[in-house]
Structure 1
Amino acid sequence: MTAFKTAEFYEILGNTGGRLDREGPFLVETLAEAPSSVVADVACGLGLHALFLAGHGAEVHAFDLSREMIDHARIRRSHPNLTYAVGDMCALSGGPYGLVLCLGNSLCLLDSTQKVNSFFQSVYDHLLPGGVCVTQTLNYETPAVKRPRIRVERAEIEDGELAAIKRFLPKENHTRLSIDYLGVAPGDMFQASESFTLHHWTARKLSETAENTGLQVKGCYGGFDRKPFREDTPDMVLTIQKP
Structure 2
Amino acid sequence: MNAPEDYFGEPVAEHYDESSADMFEPELLDATAGLLAGLAGRGRALEFAVGTGRVALPLAERGVEVHGIDLSRAMVSRLRAKPGGDAIGVTIGDIVTTRVEGTFSLVYLVFNTIMNLTTQEAQVDCFRNAAAHLAPGGCFLVEVGVPDLRRLPPGQNVVPFHVGEETLGFDVYDTATQAMSSHHVRVAGGRGEYRAIPFRYVWPAELDLMARIAGLRLRDRWEGWSRQPFTAESRHHVSVWEKPAE
- Name the TM tier (shorter chain): 0.7 to 0.9
Aligned match of 1:44 in 35, 39, 50? Answer: 50
Q: Percent identity?
A: 20
Q: Counterparts of 1:86 and 1:206 in 2: how far apart (Å)?
A: 25
How is 1:181-192 mapped onto 2 (pairs within 5 angstroms)?
A: 181-184=186-189, 192=193
**Counterpart in the other structure of 1:149:** 160
Given that 1:63 and 1:70 are in contact with CA atoms closer than 8 Å, whether structure 2 keeps it comes out as no
Distance 1:118 1:11, change over 3 A: same
Query: Could you tell me which amino acid in structure 1 is paired with residue 218 of structure 2?
Result: V
Name stretches of at least 5 consecutive residues in structure 2 with no aligned partner.
Answer: 1-9
Q: Distance in 1 between matches of 2:202 and 2:211?
A: 12
Most deviating of 23-32 and 54-63: 23-32
Contact 1:48 1:77 (8 Å CA) reproduced: no
Shift of 1:202: 0.4
Structure 2 match to 1:69: 75
Deviates more, 1:141-150 or 1:21-30: 141-150
Return the match for 2:181 from 176, 194, 204. Answer: 176
Q: Single out whichever of 9-18 and 224-233 deviates more from structure 2.
A: 9-18
Structure 1 residues 84, 190: closer, same or farther in 2, change over 3 A? farther
Matches within 5 A, 1:152-163: 152=163, 163=166
Letter in 2 for 1:203: P
CA distance in 2 between counterparts of 1:238 and 1:105 reads 12
**Distance in 2, Cα, partners of 1:104 & 1:152:** 20
For 1:168 and 1:17, locate their aligned partners in 2 and report how far apart those are by CA, in whole Å. 19
SS in structure 2 at match of 1:76 = coil
- Structure 2 equivalent of residue 200 of structure 1: 201
> Using the alignment, how far apart are the partners of 1:221 and 1:106 within structure 2?
17
TM-score normalised by length of structure 2: 0.82
Higher RCO structure (Cα 8 Å, ≥6 apart)? 1
1:82 alignment counterpart? 88
Structure-2 separation of matches of 1:11 and 1:77: 15
Unaligned runs of 5+ in 1: 155-162
User: What CA deviation, in whole Å up to 9, does each residue of 1:186-209 have, x standing for no partner?
Assistant: xxx775432112212001100011
Q: Aligned residue for 1:10? A: 16
d(CA) in 2 for partners of 1:164 and 1:78?
32
Residue among 136, 143, 146 paired with 2:143? 136
Decide whether aligned partners of structure 1 residues 230 and 62 sit closer, same or farther in structure 2, where only a CA change above 3 A counts: same
Matched letter for residue 241 of structure 2: I
Cα contact 1:141–1:232 (8 A) shared by 2: no
CA shift for structure 1 position 26: 4.4
2-structure distance, mates of 1:135, 1:167: 23
Equivalent residue of 1:89, what SS? coil
> In the alignment, which residue of structure 1 is the partner of 2:6?
none
Normalising to structure 1: TM-score of the pair? 0.83
Corresponding residue for 2:169? Answer: 166
Q: Check 1:77–1:165 CA distance in 2 against 1; reply closer, same or farther (3 A cut).
A: farther
Greater strand proportion: 1
Q: Give the letter for the 1:169 counterpart.
A: V
Measure, in 2, the Cα distance between the counterparts of 1:45 and 1:191.
Answer: 25
Question: Residues 182 and 11 of structure 1: is their aligned pair in 2 closer, same or farther, counting only changes over 3 Å?
Answer: farther
**What is the CA–CA distance in structure 1 between the aligned matches of 2:90 and 2:72, rounded to whole Å?**
11
Q: Does 1:124 align with 2:131?
A: yes
Separation of aligned partners in 2, 1:204 and 1:73: 34
